[in-house]
Amino acid sequence: MAQTITQKILSRAANRKFVDAGESVWLNVDILLTHDVCGPPTFDIFKQEFGPDAKVWDPKKVVVLPDHYIFTANEHAHRNIDLLRQFAKEQGLEHYYDVGSDRYKGVCHVALAEEGFNLPGTVLFGTDSHTCTSGAFGMFGTGIGNTDAAFILGTGKLWEKVPESIKFTFDGPMPEYLTAKDLILQILGDITTDGATYRAMEFDGEAIFSLPMEERMTLTNMAIEAGGMNGIIAADSIAETYVKARSNKPYELFQSDPDAKYHSKYHYNVRDLEPVVAQPHSPDNRATVRSVQGTKITKSYIGSCTGGKLTDFVMAAKILKGHKVAVTTNIVPATVKVARDLECERYDGQTLKQIFEDAGCSIALPSCAACLGGPADTVGRSVDNDVVVSTTNRNFPGRMGSKHAGVYLASPLTAAASAITGKLTDPRDFL
Amino acid sequence: METIIQGKAYVLGKNIDTDQIIPAEHLVYSLSDPEEVILYGKYALSGVPPEQGGLPEGNVLFVDEGSCQSKFTIIIAGPNFGCGSSREHAPFALKVAGVKAIVAESYARIFYRNCVDGGFAIPYETAEQLNKVIKTGDELKIDVEANTIENLTSKVTYKLNPLGDVFNIVEAGGIFAYARQENLMPQP
């Protein structure tokens, strides 16, 4: 029987030859990811259900990456880090990346890739909705809650309903003004925020396979904004090169069968597309940047698992070089690695860091920061009636802090161009 | 498991995401310390813009100032309830505030799973746009066995979609209770 790549990966994890869309199956979990917001309550449930002295099913398969509320004076947030540290110690979790140590990484989804945890063909569950990001590596990644995560901690297994898949094919070479963010916002406008609920979103086509891994991660990252269970891109030589440079673990490559069944298929030619934003207050409220050009903004924010990777900052620097920003512009590298790269990566003779500093941006320490608002002292948090152009993933009311603020989700190119003018601006004006 | 759930309706629109159900700044409280747990009740649905809370009129507080309990125990909402983040703090907060059931046109996957596996509130789906016909404050009665919801205020009864596969987990009270019942894990 023909299967999609998602079915094949789930078949492997269920020790089956074939799993059908719609059936519920028990999966063996390769990696469980958690962080400072959902880790402590997950560990509580684990102890309550499996006993105070219980041990996790496999300490090598639990990855704990604190990233949400790191650089804050909030005492409850500090307590959550203490609880992670304590659990990691008593359970002997070698993949714990402590805050305040040189092991600290930053935003979990980007760090998973950097640290070689993303392996084609594997199954990852994480207590974060953007766990779907890892699907860029030809693997299954999806978000779950604390109870499900606690169940995995004790058993190494979880039930999941095998999703139907929707296929999105992007033909043509990517023009320089277009980014993965524009592609996913295009899709969101077409299928809306629940268009892929309980489904897999599979990305294919020449434009997709021309993208570097970090851009592919932007696509799969936002599958959840369409309700998708997972986003997935088959691993090719670019993916394999990335993985082999970071891991020596074995992995398995899967591809969808040509006659696999899909819920639906969408076809785009990237030459027909243009830079877009998602207007307040929903990621599917798409408009071309040209159609809202001139809308005044009060802040520009470049960061998060979606838009705080090195490639995002390279794009932003291309636009910002030699210009001054007109509004507060926060540069928030996703990880420590990205932050270091800003100091070495050069564009047109200058490091990215120099370019951002010369432009008047402020560079923050790596964490999730204001993508989800966070405690009151979080860098870049929206206040009052702020109008923010942001490379993040979600713009429902209050997402970045103030529920009276409006957030325009955009590509790093658009966020940078808009920072210079203080108004929503099509990046083609600066390219 | 209760077979009849009766209570007052709190009506919301579509795409009520988890940041509106419990804003991210509140996710720092303990989910096990009783003194902190009540804060989740206090701030439940506090991220909903005022005019969109308690439809059709809006500007109805879900939890009164100074309280940690809502007088509304059944949420009525449009499509895609619970979209956004994976935070289980969201269904947890609704439960702490006193919510027994949610009736929405559809749910985001993670929120739905969290409701069921964590045993927080029963997530009913309905093919009808109940948030257009039920008003905040209406007295409702859900018959769990008949899969119906009756509006005692307007005397109209609507059908709910059967819970299907997940009924057994809901009935058991969550994934752990279910797993023990099915001998998938040892008894405590």
Domains of chain A: 5-159+179-247+263-267 (3.30.499.10), 276-429 (3.30.499.10)
Domain presence at residue B187: no
Report the alpha-carbon distance of residue A61 to residue A58 in Å, rounded.
6
Q: What is the pLDDT of residue B2?
A: 86
A124 φ/ψ angles, rounded to the nearest 5 degrees: -120, 130
- Once rounded to an integer, what is the mean pLDDT over residues B31-45? 97
Interface check B95 vs A, CB under 8 A:
no
Percent of chain B with pLDDT over 90: 94
Q: Is A125 helix (H, G, I), strand (E, B) or coil?
A: strand
Domain presence at residue B186: no
Instruction: Give the domain CATH number at B108.
Output: 3.20.19.10
Overall domain count for chain B = 1
Band the pLDDT of A255: cuts 50, 70, 90: very high
Give the chain A residue whose CA is nearest to the CA of B19.
A399
- Once rounded to an integer, what is the mean pLDDT over residues A300-317? 98
Bridge-partner residues for A158, per DSSP?
A27
Interface check A178 vs B, CB under 8 A:
no
Domain range enclosing B172: 4-181
**What ipTM describes this predicted complex?**
0.96
- Once rounded to an integer, what is the mean pLDDT over residues B104-118? 97
State if pTM tops 0.95: yes
Contact A69 B15 (CB under 8 A): no
Domain presence at residue B13: yes
Domain presence at residue B152: yes
**Alpha-helix runs per DSSP H in chain B:** 18-21, 34-42, 89-97, 109-117, 130-133, 167-172, 175-181
Nearest to B86 among A24, A129, A282 (CB): A129
Contact B31 A147 (CB under 8 A): no
Report the alpha-carbon distance of residue A181 to residue B105 in Å, rounded.
29
pLDDT digits (tens, 9 = 90+) for A105-143: 999 999 999 999 999 999 999 999 999 999 999 999 999
Contact A143 B110 (CB under 8 A): yes
Domain presence at residue B170: yes
Report the alpha-carbon distance of residue B41 to residue B63 in Å, rounded.
8
DSSP state of B50: G
Q: What is the pLDDT of residue A20?
A: 97
Q: How far is B64 from chain A (nearest CA, A)?
A: 19
Interface check A71 vs B, CB under 8 A:
no
**For residue A97, is pLDDT > 90?**
yes
Percent of chain A with pLDDT over 70: 100
Q: Would you say A191 and A183 are in contact if contact means Cβ atoms under 8 Å apart? A: no
Q: Would you say B92 and B118 are in contact if contact means Cβ atoms under 8 Å apart? A: yes
Q: What is the pLDDT of residue B184?
A: 83
Mean pLDDT of chain A: 98
Domain presence at residue B81: yes
Residue found by looking up tokens 């309990």 in the block: B69
Report the alpha-carbon distance of residue A201 to residue A185 in Å, rounded.
14
**For residue A250, is pLDDT > 80?**
yes
Domain presence at residue B176: yes
Q: Which residues of A touch B166 (CB under 8 A)?
A: none
Of A164, A284, A371, A276, the C-alpha closest to B15 is A284
**For residue B188, is pLDDT > 90?**
no
pLDDT digits (tens, 9 = 90+) for A260-280: 999 999 999 999 999 999 999
Domain presence at residue B92: yes
pLDDT digits (tens, 9 = 90+) for B165-185: 889 999 999 999 999 999 888
Band the pLDDT of B6: cuts 50, 70, 90: very high
